[in-house]
Amino acid sequence: MTSSAETSSSFARPHRAPASRARDLLVERYAPLVTMVLAIVAIWYIAAVAMNWTLVRDAYEREETPYTISDVLAGTMDAERPLLPAPHQLAAAVYDSVFGYPPLAPRSLVYHALVTLSATLLGFLIGSLFGIALALMIVHSRVLERSLLPWIICSQMVPVLALAPIFIVMLGALGLHGLLPKSIISAYLCFFPVTIGMVKGFTSPDPLQIELMRTWSATPRQVLWKLRWPAAVPYLFASLKVAISISLVGAIVAELPTGAEAGIGARLLAGSYYGQTIQIWSALVVAAVLASGLIAVTALVEGGVLRRMGAH
Amino acid sequence: MDPRKLRLGFLLATAAMALAFLLPPAPGAQPLSARPYVWEMSTAACLSCLLAAWRADLAAAIIGLPAAVLAAAASLLLLDDRMVAGAAGPGFWLIVIAAWLSAGLCVATLASLRQLRRKAQRAIDFLVPLLFGATVFYLWEVGVRGLGVPPVLLPAPSAAAARFASSLPTLGTDFVQTFVRGVLIGYAIGCGAGLLVAILAHRYQFLSRGLVPLGNFFAALPLVGIAPIMVMWFGFDWPSKAAVVVLVTFFPMLVNAIAGLSAAGDIERDLMRSYGASHRQSLTKLHLPAALPFIFNALKINATLALIGAIVAEFFGTPTQGIGFRISTEAGRMAIDMVWAEIALAALAGMAFYGLVALAERATTFWHPSYRT
């Protein structure tokens, strides 16, 4: 905060100790969030009791053992195949499958997360490079802008995931297996936001600046490297953050119809075949952790790059 | 476009067509000159390419277009010959190159037209991508049939189209099951709920402070993964698909609508306050209209997400109909042309859906700077 802002605000408001103001800001910022999260957890517990109730009660009645309400209540908290696992049960399952096995054992979620992560990253790399290349072509050619851009938008209306089984068949016939088909699907999903964002970014410089470059008789390449690229960097990171989460979705979903043996999508599918609800939920938790981790890393890189480029 | 380049391009196309007369379309097949219809078409294409090369201006694009169509038709007729399909030789590919060149030159010329009147501009904006797409489909068709790519790998678009036309009843039931029941119902509920919660959050600051970070977090999660759970909760039929769609569409709408509802400027708010407007009045007369561009943005994002969500949910179990179900079973039976027909159906439905949302956006947010020219 600059000193002038400090003085003007201290004129406007009664003086307070800086520590208490910082604490107030903290409370103002996080109290609603914490309340919301606590509310969700509470609703979750109540829902777990309500949804698992008949399940547990029926089990007792089938075994014809006498039971009390508190027995059923306890049962809803640690049923083996609950409709909705209680949060602590889920946390224990996630902890167990992450730390309970060596990281490369097929029962460890770390292993599955790594498989999906590698497909995600490869797809993200292919997709964003392709997206940037497309944006460059579109920015430099009016013909491509007119003829290609509408089709790029249309391509996103095709439910790409529907293409996944075919991609697997096609690429399998060409002798490609494993990582690449999944990555191509996630690349197909994630190139679009990059292209659109980068077209916007490359065309974001002021017309005045472009004219200035022309008065210096800069070549198109010089205009690109010295003006368009730096101007496009904020747009690049904004679209990369979208792209990486989409890329993860693509990698997970590509594992569904391909009958993959490993990966988060494969865990989801296996869990749904065998009715292992806790396994599905813990795969979902790991996917969520992965998604937020990837976005956080992108945001960190963004912060670093923008700082080096002189942003405050 | 540069007239010299244009002339060179059309001359090359002419040369390719002329060479095609000399080389056989396939090893051992009849030459072009011995085939009725084909040689007339090829000659006409060759001559109009020459004419276009001579003009080398805007008229060239108009002459080049029939040349491209004629060359394309000639090559497609050639493919009906068993000798040519699957074993096409240089004579055949030269015709394809000529068709592609002249179509490409037409697209480039039309696309680089500048300073037209508004109506002409709109027609060009429509025509250019259409021509481009037609060229791509033509090359796909000719490539697959000329090279004899096995249909299991990649069917020709005409095969997929024939399959589409012959299995309309199946496609119809799949469309109703996936799109009308799963997608539309889920979309309406998800977007409606997102908007309602955003309006509540706009009323109560506390709610909005908590919901914005949570909504952003959830919007970035791979929420389609919830599909197996929804199938477990709501059964195999469409309610589980609609539930996935609700979840997938809710958060983008929430985040965008909250951002949109706070988009009205300070001056407008002060004006509403000075009129003594109630909360409801300022909501309906100021904040909601100002939020419309954001809301439509979310509606457009959700149009794609909803279709993907419904199709993915079908991978986890369906009654024996639905786009996703059909795709996975037909892919398992190697009936790839049916798979492509289903994809075409999904793409058409998705584009129509998106188009409707975009039209509604134009009709309601005509005041927004991005539409004023």
Cα A105 to Cα A249: distance, rounded to the nearest angstrom: 24
Q: How big is the A-B interface in CB pairs under 8 Å? A: 157
Under a CB-based contact definition with an 8 Å cutoff, are residues B340 and B144 in contact? no
Q: Which among B221, B323, B351 is the nearest to A154, CB-wise? A: B351
Give yes or no for B221 touching A (CB within 8 A).
yes
For A109, A151, B43, B174, the CA distances from B361, given in Å and listed in that order, are 44, 20, 49, 29
Residue A199 sits in a domain whose CATH number is 1.10.3720.10
pLDDT band at residue A6 under the 50/70/90 scheme: very low
Residues in chain B within 8 Å Cβ distance of A288? 221-222
Cβ–Cβ gap A160/B206 under 8 Å: no
Give the per-residue pLDDT at A17: 57
Q: B24 to chain A nearest CA, in Å?
A: 30
A157 and A223 share one domain: yes
Residue type, A99: F
Could you tell me what percent of chain A has a pLDDT over 90? 8
Under a CB-based contact definition with an 8 Å cutoff, are residues B302 and B253 in contact? yes
In this prediction, the answer to ipTM > 0.90 reads no
In A100-206, which ranges are continuous DSSP H helix? 109-140, 142-157, 160-173, 179-202
Q: A151 to chain B nearest CA, in Å?
A: 7
Give the per-residue pLDDT at A307: 87
The answer to whether residue A8 scores a pLDDT higher than 90 is no
A153 and A209 share one domain: yes
Cα A166 to Cα B298: distance, rounded to the nearest angstrom: 30
Give yes or no for B154 touching A (CB within 8 A).
yes
Give yes or no for B20 touching A (CB within 8 A).
no
Phi, psi of B28 (to 5 degrees): 85, 0
Under a CB-based contact definition with an 8 Å cutoff, are residues B340 and B287 in contact? no
A239 and A167 share one domain: yes
Cβ–Cβ gap B129/A151 under 8 Å: yes
Please give the DSSP secondary-structure letter assigned to residue B30: P
Give yes or no for B131 touching A (CB within 8 A).
yes
Model pTM score: 0.80
In the predicted model, what is the mean pLDDT of residues A253-271? 78
Cα B36 to Cα A277: distance, rounded to the nearest angstrom: 67
Q: How far apart are the first and last CA of chain B?
A: 26
Cα A237 to Cα A93: distance, rounded to the nearest angstrom: 35
Cβ–Cβ gap B226/A284 under 8 Å: yes
Which segment, A93-97, A139-143, A194-198, B216-220, is predicted with the most confidence on average? A194-198
In the predicted model, what is the mean pLDDT of residues A224-239? 87
Give the per-residue pLDDT at A196: 86
Cβ–Cβ gap A156/B304 under 8 Å: yes
A286 and A142 share one domain: yes
For A116, B258, B342, the CA distances from B305, given in Å and listed in that order, are 21, 19, 18
Q: What are B240's two structure tokens?
A: 């589980």
Cβ–Cβ gap A166/B221 under 8 Å: no
Give yes or no for B213 touching A (CB within 8 A).
yes
Residues in chain B within 8 Å Cβ distance of A160? 308
Q: Which among A29, A149, A158 is the nearest to B350, CB-wise? A: A158
Cβ–Cβ gap B334/A154 under 8 Å: no
Cα B136 to Cα B142: distance, rounded to the nearest angstrom: 10
Cα A245 to Cα A55: distance, rounded to the nearest angstrom: 36
For A148, B184, B247, B355, the CA distances from B188, given in Å and listed in that order, are 32, 6, 11, 17
Cβ–Cβ gap B224/A252 under 8 Å: yes
Give yes or no for B226 touching A (CB within 8 A).
yes
A283 and A175 share one domain: yes
Residues in chain B within 8 Å Cβ distance of A170? 153-154
Examine residue A26 and state whether it is found in any structural domain, yes or no: yes
Three-state SS for B116? coil
A80 and A117 share one domain: no
Q: Which among A158, A281, A291 is the nearest to B221, CB-wise? A: A291
Interface probe for B, chosen from A27, A154, A246, A249 (most Cβ of B below 10 Å), is A249
Cβ–Cβ gap B315/A256 under 8 Å: yes
Under a CB-based contact definition with an 8 Å cutoff, are residues A207 and A253 in contact? no
A72 and A118 share one domain: no
Cβ–Cβ gap B346/A162 under 8 Å: yes
Number of domains making up chain A: 2
| Yes or no: domain B165-371 corresponds to CATH 3.40.190.10 | no
Cα A247 to Cα B38: distance, rounded to the nearest angstrom: 48
Give yes or no for B339 touching A (CB within 8 A).
yes
With CA atoms as reference, the chain B residue closest to A147 would be: B129
Cα A309 to Cα A291: distance, rounded to the nearest angstrom: 27
Q: Which residue has the tokens 């698992």?
A: A52
Residues in chain B within 8 Å Cβ distance of A266? none
A75 and A115 share one domain: no
User: Beta-carbon neighbour count of residue A168 at 10 Å?
Assistant: 22
Examine residue A291 and state whether it is found in any structural domain, yes or no: yes
- Which residue ranges make up each domain of chain B? 3-149, 165-371
| Nearest to B153, CA basis, from B163, B165, B140, B162 | B140
Q: A283 to chain B nearest CA, in Å?
A: 9
Interface probe for A, chosen from B144, B327, B342, B353 (most Cβ of A below 10 Å), is B327
Cβ–Cβ gap B307/A33 under 8 Å: no
**A125 or A66, which is more confident?**
A125
Q: Which among B112, B308, B342 is the nearest to A142, CB-wise? A: B112
- Torsion, Cα of B181, B183, B186, B191 (10° steps): -140
Count of residues making up chain B: 373
Give yes or no for B134 touching A (CB within 8 A).
no
Last residue of a domain, one of A84, A99, A121: A84
Q: B30 to chain A nearest CA, in Å?
A: 33
Cβ–Cβ gap B225/A37 under 8 Å: no
pLDDT band at residue A11 under the 50/70/90 scheme: very low
Q: What are B214's two structure tokens?
A: 């949570």
Examine residue A104 and state whether it is found in any structural domain, yes or no: no
Examine residue A5 and state whether it is found in any structural domain, yes or no: no
Could you tell me what percent of chain A has a pLDDT over 70? 88
Cβ–Cβ gap B222/A83 under 8 Å: no
A77 and A174 share one domain: no
Examine residue A142 and state whether it is found in any structural domain, yes or no: yes
Q: Which among A33, A37, A269 is the nearest to B209, CB-wise? A: A33
Helix-strand-coil percent breakdown of chain A, rounded to 5? 80, 0, 20
What is the extent of the structural domain holding A55?
19-84
Three-state SS for B61? helix
The count of C-alpha atoms lying within 13 angstroms of the C-alpha of A163, restricted to the half-sphere facing its C-beta, is 21
Give the per-residue pLDDT at A165: 66
Q: Which residue has the tokens 């191509």?
A: A184
Q: Which residue has the tokens 């678009």?
A: B157
A35 membership: H or E segment, kind and range: helix A18-63
The answer to whether residue A214 scores a pLDDT higher than 60 is yes
Cβ–Cβ gap A162/B343 under 8 Å: yes
Give the per-residue pLDDT at A206: 83
Give the per-residue pLDDT at B15: 86
CA B77 to chain centre: 28
Cβ–Cβ gap B220/A245 under 8 Å: yes
Residues of chain B numbered 227-286 and touching chain A (CB < 8 Å): 227-229, 231-233
Residue type, B48: S
Cα B110 to Cα B61: distance, rounded to the nearest angstrom: 7
Per-residue pLDDT of chain B in tens (373 residues, 90 and over written 9): 677 888 888 888 888 888 877 787 777 777 777 777 888 888 888 888 888 888 878 778 888 888 888 888 888 888 877 777 777 778 788 888 888 888 888 888 888 777 677 888 888 888 888 888 888 898 988 888 888 888 777 888 888 888 888 888 888 888 888 888 889 999 999 999 999 999 999 888 888 888 888 888 888 788 888 888 888 888 888 888 899 999 989 998 998 898 888 888 889 899 999 999 998 898 988 899 888 888 988 898 888 888 888 888 887 777 788 888 888 788 778 788 888 888 888 888 888 888 898 889 888 887 777 665 4
Q: What is the pLDDT of residues A58-108, one digit of tens each?
A: 777 887 777 777 777 777 777 777 778 888 888 888 888 888 777 777 778
Q: What are B202's two structure tokens?
A: 């706009």
**B267 or A153, which is more confident?**
B267
Last residue of a domain, one of A84, A99, A119: A84
Q: Which among A36, A37, A161 is the nearest to B308, CB-wise? A: A161
**Which long-range contacts link B303-306 to residues 24+ away (Cβ below 8 Å)?**
B303/A157, B303/B187, B303/B350, B303/B353, B303/B354, B303/B357, B304/A156, B304/A157, B304/A159, B304/B350, B304/B354, B305/B248, B305/B249, B305/B252, B306/B183, B306/B186, B306/B187, B306/B190, B306/B245, B306/B248, B306/B249
Please give the DSSP secondary-structure letter assigned to residue A106: T
A58 and A132 share one domain: no
For A73, A117, A180, A214, A281, the CA distances from A132, given in Å and listed in that order, are 55, 22, 20, 24, 36
Examine residue A89 and state whether it is found in any structural domain, yes or no: no
With CA atoms as reference, the chain A residue closest to B335 would be: A166
With CA atoms as reference, the chain B residue closest to A170 would be: B153
Query: CA angle at residue B109 from B103 to B111, to 5 degrees?
Result: 100
A71 and A122 share one domain: no
Cβ–Cβ gap B347/A269 under 8 Å: no
Residue type, A136: L
Angle between helices B168-175 and B323-332 (to 10 degrees): 130
Examine residue A10 and state whether it is found in any structural domain, yes or no: no
Under a CB-based contact definition with an 8 Å cutoff, are residues A253 and A265 in contact? yes
Examine residue A34 and state whether it is found in any structural domain, yes or no: yes
Interface probe for A, chosen from B121, B221, B223 (most Cβ of A below 10 Å), is B221
